[in-house]
Amino acid sequence: MVVAVKRAVLLASAAISFSLKRFAPERLIHESLWQTSAAIFFSVIAVRFFWASFIYPFYFSPLRHLPQPKQTSLLFGQFLKIIKEPTGVPQREWMEEIKNDGLIYYRGLFNMERVMVTTPKALSEAVTLKSYDLIKPPTLIKGLARILGYGILLTEGQEHKVQRKNLTPAFSYRHIKDLYPVFWDQSRDMILGIDKEIASKADGKIGADVEKVEHEINVDGWTSRATLDIIGVATIGKSFGAIEDPNSKLYQTYQTLFKQDWQTQLVGFLNVILPFWFIRALPIPRNIKVEKERLYLSKICFEMLADKRAKISAAKQNNVSDETAGGVDILSVAMQSGAFTDNQIVDQLLTFLAAGHETTATAMTWAVYTLGKFPEVQQKLRDELRASDLPDIRDTSGHITAEQIEQLPYLHAVTNEVLRFYSPVPATIRIAAKDVVLSGQLIPEGTMVFTPLIAANHNSSMWTEDPKVFNPDRWMGPGRANTGGAESNYSNMTFSHGPRGCIGASFAKAEFASLLAAWVLGFETTLIDRDMKDPDVTGGIIRRIKGANALADMGYNISGEAVMAIEWTLFALAYCIVGLRIGVRIARRQQKHVIISDCLLIASALDCLGLIICDTWTYSLGGMRYIPQGEALSAADMKNEVILDKISFASNYFYDTGMYWPKAALIALYFKIIPSTMPRLRTSLYVVTGFVVACAITTCLLDTLWCAPNIASNWSLEEGACSAFNSLLVLQIDWAMNCFSDVAIFVLPFPLLRHLHLNRNQIYGLLLTFTLGLATIAVNLARFITIQTGNNWNAVFIWSMAEMAVAIIVVSLPALKTLLRRKSKTSTTSKSYLDGQHYMVTASRGRSVFARGDPLDDEGSDVELNRVMGKRDVIYKTKEVSVDSRPIEDGDDGGPLGLAWTNNGYDGVGKAGV
């Protein structure tokens, strides 16, 4: 929808520009057709953004009267709260606290509208009756398709119906029933593998001694490998061997793809505001790894398809039926249906391999945590399992049937309660494909609809017993085995319902029950941190426990060594650019070497130096060391705490002041190139200057006096002590002023650009400069988002240095253009030159109107325009000039100096090049 609107606006802009050039050329914004089109396009987009963000949601939206959360940010809506907390948690709070009739309205980033369905009636409409009117967001589909392929999970409409119909036989009860022995065998292999790991850590003890050994294991790693092998059997009819080989290429590939780190968060955030093709093209390590692993997975899936096809072909030659030859695994069912191309089959394999093993592994991790948290539940379950006729879990000759698992009521109750209470997928997001009515309310096309799975599971109004308490007994008793005492089918939304409900729900429950039974028979689980009641949870599509996955933890917490390496690299790059700029200035000028913008950049560079000294000092004192949850601070850590707080206060100052020096350098440039004869633009410049100065002063005052007139209060350790750098409100105010001053400075010169006649290379240069300016704003936003999430402070160090370095580089680069310019024959007299033709303009007092320089350079190129002839259409006006000139041929692009404007005031004069 958004892409279609942008394309329509772009086409309309081009059509309007062409019509103006054809029928009313005097009304063109610029002589260049494409520049006029671009100006119209971006103006319309800006107006549309302002309308969609600040006008429509508050004054015209049909949803604005719905119940909604309080304390909404004017710019961000509830976005900051949503990203700071695990997925679904804010919505769960609103669902309990806000009175509603089935819908709650809230706003996301830039006030994008969201609707959350909250009652069984509204849920039934959203996921069952009108499920095909609500589709997955296109940005989400494109992002997930890189890992999952365009399988049944991501298709919509009729295509989804066809795929579901043809894949359903692979998940029939008869087939799942036959898979119970496979579930048990793989679960037993997992237990035996853990035994070997424990024995290796216990000086080779084996047998009965192993039972007495306490050892910390990576639960998520083992369960992921077990479920990957199980889904391998279900998908292609054979195990991948991940349990036996923890370095299995396939397993390591999925660990890489599902790793949650700061790059994943950044890509996810940018995916909301930037085109997918642009994000995918970013040369960041995360993108490179994902693309590499995606190609590997596709290659593996095509090989699986070829192997299965060869097996079926060989079996047919022996007069074996298709079903017997291929089996009833997902791959065979898809091939035998005849409804899928090879590429579509590969997409289905990618979907089931990824989604089919990771969600169950996550549920198993939560189950193990629950066993440690509720030892009475663990013991009751173990008693039931030991009293059953299940074989010894370490007996490699033992086998089970489906009935042996299904006849265990407490195992059934515990699995259902874990899946309800700790739903691995906390929520789903849809977009209205057309205007749709939910719970009696019109939902406009394009509105995002949030289905809170875990919030429904915990909603008091939907359950007879307190749903906020983990209680497997709710599933015990007549008529409660499948309902748990719920008021409605839509009270338990773990697997969703309707046409888009999980096709493998029965498969996942059976697999989970087998894994859990094997674990309880094999081990007694206790929490290492016995006081841990509410573990940290990762955000994202799957709800994981932080720390349960050692791989994800190591990737998520950037080491101090990595921070230092990145920071010093950025620092060295910024200093090289500044040094090169000053060197160019000295080389090109004889009298006036360093001008005001250079001085301001040097001040910024000194602040950058102060920041990296503070960060290096912080690192040396252990301030960047990752401290696992529950680990107490050492005596040395406590001793250094005051010093670290003082360093943080100083680095805060270096960062805040260092960000305003480059802004001042740009403003100094604007004062040089915008003459007093352009009063409106000059007035705007004064306003922006005053705004930026006010922002800088306010930032320093907030940092200093927020807590008290006594600066030392910023590093006080007394109870209830205050520090500006730990205040979320100060952070938000400082960030807002920094961001808005960036935007103001960025847009200020645009009115001047409409007067310029630029050739293609100059246009590319301007686009590059503006793109780098946008990069500064993007880094600023990324730093702010990282701080808001509050879980990766080492990344904040990197973002801070990156923002300062990028700002310095952006302001310095235009002055280096001369290094790339070819030397041309020019006069050393006071003449302006255009493509080798001298264009002489002299003042009445005998002084040259033009001085040396390149107007596309910054102030450091010394564009000194004393007086320039002209009338109404000329940028710089003066009465103190006499003109002695000869005309320039039409089509002249302005020559090597690169700047020209139209002069309609004098006969015989075409374009004047500066």
Closest CA relative to residue 52, chosen from 20, 77, 69, 71: 77
Distance CA 237, CA 329 (A): 6
Distance CA 365, CA 368 (A): 5
- Name the residue type at position 723: S
First to last CA, the chain: 45
Q: Token pair of 372, please?
A: 């440690």
Q: Helix (H, G, I), strand (E, B), or coil: what is residue 433?
A: coil
Distance CA 260, CA 556 (A): 6
Burial 401-428 (b: 16+ CB within 10 A, else e): ebebbeebebbbbbbbbbbbbbbbbbbb
CB 136 within 8 A of CB 430: yes
Q: How many residues does the chain have?
A: 914
Distance CA 532, CA 551 (A): 21
Cα–chain center distance at 306: 37
Q: Token pair of 71, please?
A: 């304390």
Q: What is the CA radius of gyration of the chain?
A: 33
Distance CA 833, CA 824 (A): 10
Q: Token pair of 823, please?
A: 């030397």
Torsion of CA 120, 122, 124, 127, to 10 degrees: -130
Residue list, annotated binding site: 502
Residues 6+ apart with CB under 8 A from 881: 841, 843, 844, 849, 867, 868, 869
Instruction: Report which DSSP code applies to 715.
Output: G
- Name the residue type at position 706: W
φ, ψ of residue 468 to 5 degrees: the values are: -85, 0
Distance CA 786, CA 798 (A): 11
Any idea which residue has 């077990």 for tokens?
226
Closest CA relative to residue 68, chosen from 45, 36, 90: 90
What's the farthest any 2 CA atoms get from each other in the chain? Answer: 111
- Name the residue type at position 280: R
Counting Cβ atoms within 10 Å, is residue 181 exposed (0-12), middle (13-18) or buried (19+)?
middle
Query: In Å, what is the CA distance from 4 to each residue of 9, 16, 35, 69, 837?
Result: 9, 18, 22, 31, 48
Burial 546-566 (b: 16+ CB within 10 A, else e): bbbbebbbebbbbebeebbeb
| Bridge partners, residue 431, by sequence | 135, 448
What ranges make up the beta strands (E) of 825-868? 832-834, 837-839, 842-843
Residue 498 Ramachandran class (φ > 0 left, ψ -120 to 50 alpha, else beta): left
Cα–chain center distance at 866: 49
Distance CA 806, CA 777 (A): 10
Element (H, E) at 510: helix 505-522
- Name the residue type at position 360: T
CB 123 within 8 A of CB 490: yes
Distance CA 318, CA 337 (A): 21
Distance CA 537, CA 578 (A): 44
Element (H, E) at 686: helix 679-705
Residue list, annotated binding site for heme: 502
